[in-house]
Amino acid sequence: MRNHGFSLIELMIATAIVAILAAIALPAYTSQLRKSSRAGAQSFMTTAAGNQQQYLLNRRAYASSFAALRATAPADLTSKYVFIVAATDGPPPTFTLTATAIGDQTNDACPALVIDNAGNKTPSACW
């Protein structure tokens, strides 16, 4: 009667195939996670920029903090980005919103995102 099962060489080949597939898939997966976080940061910053324009209409100056805008970054983004508001009274008044990547997010193709009162988004390749 013949033994039923796998030989050691068959198990080693199967393990090697799984390891090769994992080595290919893991970097692609982490890259997609970084792109997703970048898109979330861009969405938050675009919303905050719109809130800044409304704040200017109401108070004739730009807000100097996200709290004044009543804009809170999603919890999953605060571990990946530091968000900063820089506002000047002018004339004319201006603002700049900056998101700087931290942790593993710094490995993204765009570790810093900026949007200003004129709608300029830099780096342009990342928006």
For 61-90, what is each residue's pLDDT tens digit?
A: 999 999 999 999 999 999 999 999 999 987
Q: Which pLDDT value is given to residue 1?
A: 60
pLDDT at 47: 96
Q: Cα separation of 55 and 69, whole Å?
A: 7
The reply to whether 1 falls in a domain is no
Q: Which range marks the domain in which residue 101 is found?
A: 8-126
Is residue 90 in some structural domain? yes
When divided into structural domains, the chain yields a total of 1
Strands (E) across the chain are located at 81-88, 94-101, 112-116, 121-122
All residue ranges of the chain with pLDDT < 50 are none
Residue type, 120: N
Q: pTM of the prediction?
A: 0.81
Give the span between the Cα atoms of 104 and 50, in whole angstroms: 29
Q: Which of 37, 29, 51 is nearest to 126 (CA)?
A: 37
